[in-house]
Structure 1
Amino acid sequence: MTFTGLWVALATPFTSTGDVDLPAFRRLVRHVAAGGADGVVVLGSTGEAATILDPERDALVEACLESAGPMGVVVGTGSNATRQTAEWTRRAQAQGARGALVVTPYYNKPTPEGLRAHYEAVAWAAPGLPLIAYNVPGRTGLNLTPAALAGLWENPQVAAVKESSGNLAQIAEIARTLPPGKILLSGDDNLALPSIAVGASGLVSVLGNAVPRETAALVRAALEGRRAEAIALHQALLPLMDALFAESNPIPLKAALERLGLCGSTLRLPLTSASQATRDRLASLLPAGGAA
């Protein structure tokens, strides 16, 4: 499985009573597929995976696989408990996922040795399944440094890293030291263009839920070296990128998807609905019912 190009970190729609809305989820997956994404990630941070109950996980993965068409499907399986991560990864492989997105363990504060052991245990639980290490220190409290990542690359199943540190110097150093066959992915929409410029091979996107066609065009222009086109697309999309992070992700995204007619804006506590200021900002950038 090649994890290049545009991968969309899917939101998880909920009904007004807080249950998983599988029809809306399938609609969102089809919307992303029609926009030309190369793959999707289900049960990532954008999908509010931390609040998804265990039985709901399997139903979401199955619905994603059924609706994704030719797109690749990666499942977010990370937790701060290695045994739990290993079990979710094993299940994702059994269901037919093409890879697993495994966030660095949060809260526990593992050493580089502990990180290596964590990913080794996960790989052992799902032999042959490609793993994407996910570095998001703003959520985990732990930064996967280039030196620590070098240890993970020794594991043949660690195929890629999703880099969401927001530190372009670190991203550039990861790209400089990237072993042959390994893949660097930007984890931030607003850094996709500069990340690709220094050596990333794609993007795991929040923006792509709302405007997949435009996001795919940006990524492809950047990867193909069409600099002027990529810059123009980046500049056109930047106000929406910024608006989608005006509050904690996926709070603004859910409001955007509701405006587009794709799903409701319900979130699970402890996340609460977007402020009116955020909704007004999104209204100035997105047409009502534009994706319906």
Structure 2
Amino acid sequence: MMKKILFQGAGTAIITPMKEDGSIHYSLFGELLDRQVQENADAVIVAGTTGEASTLTDEEHFELVQYAVRRVNGRLPVIAGAGSNNTAHAAFLSRECERAGADGLLHVTPYYNKASQQGLFLHFSECAKATKLPIILYNVPSRTGVNIFPATYKRLCQFDNIVAVKEASGNFSQMAKIAALCGDDLAIYSGNDDQITSALALGAKGVISVLSNIIPADTHRICSSYFEGRREESDDLQLKYLELIEALFLDVNPIPVKQAMRAMGYDVGHCRLPLCDMDVTVAEKMYATLHRYGLLEGDGKRPGSVTVQQAKNAGSISVRNL
């Protein structure tokens, strides 16, 4: 029997908007959550990498999850980032995010420690034992320095609440092996926006997406059209947005997506240090791409957004018309 999955489609790895003083901009966060619901996102992932979890205090982390749960109010699943490179802390985060009302958890591989496969197994085992919530494992070797092997996924399937993986290795041979070994015991989500349809072809249930901060409706459509049998439409949308996806990864996530959203007219603030704004030349390349997709001009997809020249001239853009 297939384990119950948290969602099918596009889950948004949502940013955490900040005020000028660096504190969390909760009212804007609420508006961003509402937009995700209105534009058919299938889930939101709060306090993940894109949400700058590594620079949130524990108190902020839990408040952010609790706020999201209350604001969304059951309209879509709220999945809380709960990963840490300290197993005891990851277990603590799991318990507290469950207490905050999350529908599920996202657990990234322990970063920097470079644990063995046995170490990864033991780490995720403790996380699974700490909560009754369904868990999505998150494998992103380029960021954490460690890769979960397919055989380790298979071992972890013994835990009823380890239900899925966000696979961001970019390795389709590995993804195919995971699907073959784990079958219905482990759902797969693409962790790369440029590989959604390819992952779906291997049986993935969707994507955990940065792109859907910018275009939630069309990111949802990439998945929904595939599942509804309109695969050519899904492929066309994937290809249509490749240049935009590339622009959102011209620097370390979430630097570009936050800068892009400021240029679109959302006053989401800056990333917390040690992440900082892109080099001006790189930023201009991203702004030009946003402009080509009609995301900057006032007569484009976002009323009240700024022009490409205004975007180039302003590192922090505060125009909003929500």
TM-score using structure 1 length? 0.95
Q: Answer yes or no: is the 8 Å Cα contact 2:66–2:102 preserved in 1.
A: no
Partner residue, 1:287: 296
Q: 2:225 aligns with which of 206, 221, 227?
A: 221
Shift of the alpha carbon at 1:113?
1.7
Q: Answer yes or no: is the 8 Å Cα contact 1:218–1:234 preserved in 2.
A: yes
Write out per-residue CA displacement over residues 169-208 of structure 1, whole angstroms, 9 at most, x where no aligned residue.
Answer: 2112212222324211111111111000111111100001
Write out per-residue CA displacement over residues 92-129 of structure 1, whole angstroms, 9 at most, x where no aligned residue.
Answer: 11111111100111111222222121112112221x21
SS of residue in 1 equivalent to 2:88: helix
Write out per-residue CA displacement over residues 1-34 of structure 1, whole angstroms, 9 at most, x where no aligned residue.
Answer: 5232111101011112211111111111111111
Shift of the alpha carbon at 1:224?
2.6
Partner residue, 2:259: 255
Partner residue, 1:28: 32
Shift of the alpha carbon at 1:150?
1.3
- Letter of the 2:168 partner, please give it: S
Partner residue, 1:149: 153
SS of residue in 1 equivalent to 2:184: coil
C-alpha distance in 2, partners of 1:230/1:55? 40
Q: Cα RMSD between the aligned structures?
A: 1.5
Q: Answer yes or no: is the 8 Å Cα contact 2:262–2:269 preserved in 1.
A: yes
Task: Pick closer, same or farther for the CA change 1:192–1:133 going to 2, 3 Å.
Answer: same
Write out per-residue CA displacement over residues 36-78 of structure 1, whole angstroms, 9 at most, x where no aligned residue.
Answer: 0111100111011101112111221121112224110010000
- Letter of the 1:159 partner, please give it: V
Say whether residues 1:82 and 2:87 are aligned partners: yes
Partner residue, 1:112: 117
Higher relative contact order (CA 8 A, sep 6+): 1
Q: 1:91 aligns with which of 78, 87, 96?
A: 96
Partner residue, 2:312: none
Q: Answer yes or no: is the 8 Å Cα contact 1:89–1:122 preserved in 2.
A: yes
- Letter of the 1:267 partner, please give it: C
C-alpha distance in 2, partners of 1:124/1:146? 21
- Letter of the 2:92 partner, please give it: E
Partner residue, 2:268: 264
Deviates more, 1:216-225 or 1:197-206: 216-225
Partner residue, 1:71: 76
C-alpha distance in 2, partners of 1:20/1:132? 25
Shift of the alpha carbon at 1:288?
4.4
- Letter of the 1:65 partner, please give it: V
Counting matched residue pairs gives 291
Partner residue, 1:53: 57
C-alpha distance in 1, partners of 2:183/2:240? 34
Shift of the alpha carbon at 1:261?
2.3
Partner residue, 1:185: 189
- Letter of the 2:5 partner, please give it: T
C-alpha distance in 2, partners of 1:288/1:122? 46
Shift of the alpha carbon at 1:287?
2.6
Q: Answer yes or no: is the 8 Å Cα contact 2:25–2:268 preserved in 1.
A: no
Partner residue, 1:7: 11
C-alpha distance in 1, partners of 2:213/2:198? 21
Gaps of 5+ in 2: 304-321
C-alpha distance in 2, partners of 1:152/1:280? 44
% identity of equivalent residues = 37
Q: Answer yes or no: is the 8 Å Cα contact 1:252–1:279 preserved in 2.
A: no
Moved over 6 A (4+): none
Q: Answer yes or no: is the 8 Å Cα contact 1:6–1:202 preserved in 2.
A: yes
Q: Which has the larger radius of gyration?
A: 2
C-alpha distance in 2, partners of 1:230/1:77? 31
Partner residue, 2:106: 101
Partner residue, 1:130: 134
Shift of the alpha carbon at 1:280?
3.5
Gaps of 5+ in 1: none
C-alpha distance in 2, partners of 1:223/1:145? 28
C-alpha distance in 2, partners of 1:214/1:135? 25
Q: Answer yes or no: is the 8 Å Cα contact 1:16–1:264 preserved in 2.
A: no
Write out per-residue CA displacement over residues 123-179 of structure 1, whole angstroms, 9 at most, x where no aligned residue.
Answer: 2221x2111110000111001121221111122211100000011221122122223
- Letter of the 2:166 partner, please give it: K
Q: Answer yes or no: is the 8 Å Cα contact 1:183–1:200 preserved in 2.
A: yes
